[in-house]
């Protein structure tokens, strides 16, 4: 397969194999100088863009506008490929998605890739599923761009918690039921701040991103600090897509349900009393729709 084609369809995993002769990637030196011999005297601009959770119709007008004039789109695994069709014909489409157990670029390399295209004078769209600043590592990319005095703009997107909750008929907040929402990465159990006691507060909704693989630790941690086993939760798989499925269960069944769904991605875990509202809201909507069709 020719290099140009691999750039368009994103079917490569290594920058060197894609023909980037100016890349001098040293994983042991994150501060090494970036220099391309063919660098343009006019620097480009980078847009860190949230593509939303799967559904192309959830893309913002601002995001659509910059995609339509991009020279390069660097996109993640969870970006709906239909969105790429909005880009101009000449636009290079570069896949840098990450999936457990499969080859992928490291984050530092992705950040440096954005810098190098901007140095070449390109208009670059870094396209991410959901929102770039919510578990999207957009902050790391922005810092790298700022370090090299490159112009960039952040265009927010609908994050998975908001999109999946809406499409599942689960209000994240509800008067007298949930007065706050906490978004948590499933990696919190192995990070520096497990802080389960801070997560177990009455009247709030918890949303775990990337939590299925850590279901055992999440379940044990929350119950140890006071949540009951029958605490309601929902697991939303393939949210905001035609393949979406909502699995309503309880905290003490989280581990078994996660094992049942092993390998399914993306998946979002919503915990809270608001999950109980889903049945009534869904039934009401379906009833209204059926009456309109009569």
Helix axes 138-147, 107-119, angle to 10 degrees: 40
Structure token digits, residue 179:
């007065």
Q: Which residues are designated catalytic? A: 76, 98
Burial label for 128, CB within 10 Å (0-12, 13-18, 19+), is: buried
């Amino acid at each position: 397969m020719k290099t140009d084609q691999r750039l368009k369809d994103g079917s490569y995993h290594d920058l060197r194999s894609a023909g980037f002769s100016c890349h001098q990637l040293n994983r042991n030196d994150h501060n090494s100088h970036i220099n391309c011999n063919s660098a343009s005297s006019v620097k480009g601009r980078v847009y860190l863009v949230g593509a939303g959770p799967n559904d192309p119709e959830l893309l913002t007008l601002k995001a659509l506008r910059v995609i339509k004039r991009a020279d390069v789109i660097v996109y993640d695994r969870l970006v709906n490929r239909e969105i790429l069709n909005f880009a101009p014909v000449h636009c290079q489409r570069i896949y840098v998605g990450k999936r457990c157990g499969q080859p992928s670029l490291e984050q530092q390399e992705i950040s440096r890739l954005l810098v190098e295209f901007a140095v070449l004078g390109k208009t670059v769209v870094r396209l991410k599923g959901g929102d770039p600043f919510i578990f999207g590592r957009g902050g790391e990319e922005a810092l790298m761009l700022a370090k090299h005095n490159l112009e960039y703009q952040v265009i927010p997107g609908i994050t998975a918690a908001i999109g999946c909750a809406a499409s599942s008929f689960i209000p994240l907040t509800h008067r007298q039921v949930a007065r706050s929402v906490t978004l948590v990465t499933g990696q919190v159990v192995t990070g520096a701040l497990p802080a389960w006691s801070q997560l177990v507060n009455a009247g709030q909704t918890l949303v775990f991103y990337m939590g299925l693989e850590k279901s055992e630790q999440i379940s044990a941690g929350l119950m140890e600090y006071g949540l009951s086993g029958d605490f309601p939760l929902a697991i939303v798989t393939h949210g905001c897509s035609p393949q979406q499925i909502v699995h309503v269960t309880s905290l003490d069944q989280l581990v078994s349900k996660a094992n049942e769904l092993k390998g399914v991605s993306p998946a979002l875990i919503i915990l809270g009393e608001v999950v109980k509202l889903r049945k009534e809201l869904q039934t009401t909507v379906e009833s209204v729709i059926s009456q309109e069709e009569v």
